Structure 1
Amino acid sequence: MALVAEELAELARLPDSALPLERMAALISAEHQGKVRAEDISDAFNQLAEEFLGTHPNPADPATLTRFIHEVAGFRGNTDDYYDPANSYIDRVLSSKRGIPISLALVHLCLAERIGLEAWGINFPGHVLVGYQGLDQAYVDPFSGRYLSLSDCKTLFKQNLGPRQAFSDHYLRAASPRAFLLRLVENLKQVHWRLRDWSVVERCLIQQSTLTPEVRDWLLQRGIVREMRGDLAAASQFYQEVIETATEATLKETAIKRLTAMGASKSTLH
């Protein structure tokens, strides 16, 4: 586990354009589950790519690959248990062929790279999408395998954020590998927060800090997690660090309020 964390930290120091998305997603899964090898995940993708290339002419096109992923290989959204943590682990998704939008988007990206297609993830609000070079004003919904027009995306946006929210084309921009990985970990963190599985939540926060060490919000959240676990001394240290290093006023204010409330709570104990 320590070696996995060290490799993830080493890779995270690379510039965005050089981040190996597949390997880092595999390392994220391995750090949470233990007996997961990034090489096995790579082998599974290689096998899928070989199967595709063995039955489809080269050069391939986005429509053919999308059809292969969803109709031939059988990947689809896990509508039965959307909040199952396994939906966020790429090794489990490759095994079960069930996932959530971001993990299924990763399947698209990893296979597209192997067969010579240019594809990118899109951190669309509430639902990750996939863009492909050659698809004009159309995007792939990796959860269903459907194509979405710009009009469809605007409708999905309103469904996710409400009718009063204004749509902008920037919501359809390509996500950097770092932003994509952050969202992958965020989904996993939110699932375990629901389950109040604080040890996993904190591991997710450490991974997010590894990806973006300059973000002080991760420290604030680690303080909250420690507070929830009853480790008030550690919580206090995290809050103090936020107060001393954060540039965002709202983060400082929240840390001060929680630290003050925590002190008041301690003073009532006899």
Structure 2
Amino acid sequence: MTRDEAEALLTEAGQADDADFPLLEAAIACAIHDYPFRDPEPVRVLAANAAQRLSERIGEESPDDALTETMAADLRLNGDLINFDYPGNTDVIDVAERRRGLSAALAVFYIDAARRAGVKCQGVDFPGHFLLRVETPEGPVALDPFSQGRLVLPSELTRRALRAGLTPHVADRLDVLMAPVSDRECLIRLQNLLFIRALKALDYESAERSALRRALLDPEDHRPWLDVAAAREKQGALTGALEALARARGVDDPAEARRQLSVDRVRMQLN
């Protein structure tokens, strides 16, 4: 798959409703868009094996235990504690090979397997750390895919929230802490992380690609196009920056004044 083909797939995914969002294939397209011409089949094979094993466990174990045992024990998916900042930890092709990654990347495999096996599992955009919400007969529970899918107790959720800077009256509200996000938002969080890392490394080409993926995945949000424009401006691609700003301006949003200031700034450099 080429980078252009990956962009076409991401564009199509961006047009899908949240209920029909193709999480696994969109995650593969994101990985190929960053580093093209790789074989994505191991990702699909791992995902299929996960769904099959989870389906076999469901009748004998609770949904959360079955999911944890399948993903962390059977398939050895876990967080990369040693090389946390390794770029491949956000890439599902790399994660499928190494069985190591960051929470949001591991969550792609958890959510996909759960969906195929009939387990209700959604991402939780928890401050500083992506978690999973799994529905059980006793109520929803939180799992940490980075730590071998272990159960995160409500008291620990509150402690984590307080450490992340949330106020006490918010940190005590489990309905807020465990609010699920869409599959689309799960994948966008990964791209946000890549964008931030690329900016810190002054790698503006990578920053542009990750911002572009966000723009394609969520075409109703103007903000990724502003990031695309900023990354292109840093590379001296001022015409491309203006094109991105025009795309941002085409998305209906009250922040028009900010976008117009950005356009004027770039145009002044062209003159």
Aligning the two structures, in what range does the TM-score lie when normalised by the shorter sequence?
Answer: 0.7 to 0.9
Structure 1 residues 119 and 192, CA gap change in structure 2 (3 angstroms): same
- Which residue of the partner structure matches residue 139 of structure 2? 136
Matched, 1:253 2:253: no
1:19-38 paired onto structure 2 within 5 Å: 19-38=21-40
- Which residue of the partner structure matches residue 173 of structure 1? 179
Structure 1 residues 21 and 266, CA gap change in structure 2 (3 angstroms): closer
Structure 1 residues 139 and 245, CA gap change in structure 2 (3 angstroms): closer
Once residues 20 and 59 of structure 1 are traced to their aligned partners in structure 2, the CA distance between those partners, rounded to angstroms, is: 29
Q: Which moved more, 1:91-100 or 1:234-243?
A: 234-243
TM superposition score normalised by structure 1: 0.84
CA contact (8 A) 1:76 1:142 kept: yes
Once residues 250 and 58 of structure 2 are traced to their aligned partners in structure 1, the CA distance between those partners, rounded to angstroms, is: 59
Matched, 1:185 2:191: yes
One-letter amino acid of the structure 2 residue matched with residue 32 of structure 1:
D
Deviation at 1:57, TM superposition (A): 6.5
- Which residue of the partner structure matches residue 103 of structure 2? 101
Structure 1 residues 261 and 52, CA gap change in structure 2 (3 angstroms): closer
Deviation at 1:77, TM superposition (A): 1.1
Deviation at 1:74, TM superposition (A): 2.1
Deviation at 1:143, TM superposition (A): 0.9
Matched, 1:124 2:126: yes
- Which residue of the partner structure matches residue 206 of structure 1? 212
CA contact (8 A) 2:104 2:187 kept: no
Deviation at 1:124, TM superposition (A): 1.5
Matched, 1:157 2:157: no
Once residues 239 and 23 of structure 1 are traced to their aligned partners in structure 2, the CA distance between those partners, rounded to angstroms, is: 28
RMSD value, Cα: 2.8
SS state of the match for residue 161, structure 1? coil
TM superposition score normalised by structure 2: 0.84
Once residues 24 and 46 of structure 1 are traced to their aligned partners in structure 2, the CA distance between those partners, rounded to angstroms, is: 16
Q: Could you list the per-position Cα deviations for residues 11-63 of structure 1 after superposition, in whole angstroms to 9, with x for gaps in the alignment?
A: 32111111111111111112212133444421122234445666x47354321
One-letter amino acid of the structure 1 residue matched with residue 99 of structure 2:
K
SS state of the match for residue 120, structure 1? strand
CA contact (8 A) 1:19 1:177 kept: yes
Matched, 1:15 2:24: no
SS state of the match for residue 166, structure 1? helix
Aligned residues: 264
Q: Which moved more, 1:208-217 or 1:231-240?
A: 231-240
Q: Structure 2: where are the runs of 5+ without partners?
A: none
Once residues 165 and 210 of structure 1 are traced to their aligned partners in structure 2, the CA distance between those partners, rounded to angstroms, is: 36
CA contact (8 A) 1:236 1:259 kept: no
State the structure with more CA Rg. 1
One-letter amino acid of the structure 2 residue matched with residue 58 of structure 1:
G
Q: Structure 1: where are the runs of 5+ without partners?
A: none
Once residues 15 and 155 of structure 1 are traced to their aligned partners in structure 2, the CA distance between those partners, rounded to angstroms, is: 35
CA contact (8 A) 2:54 2:114 kept: no
Once residues 222 and 165 of structure 1 are traced to their aligned partners in structure 2, the CA distance between those partners, rounded to angstroms, is: 37
Deviation at 1:198, TM superposition (A): 1.5
Structure 1 residues 105 and 255, CA gap change in structure 2 (3 angstroms): same
SS state of the match for residue 133, structure 1? strand
- Which residue of the partner structure matches residue 79 of structure 1? 81
Q: Share of identical aligned residues, percent?
A: 20
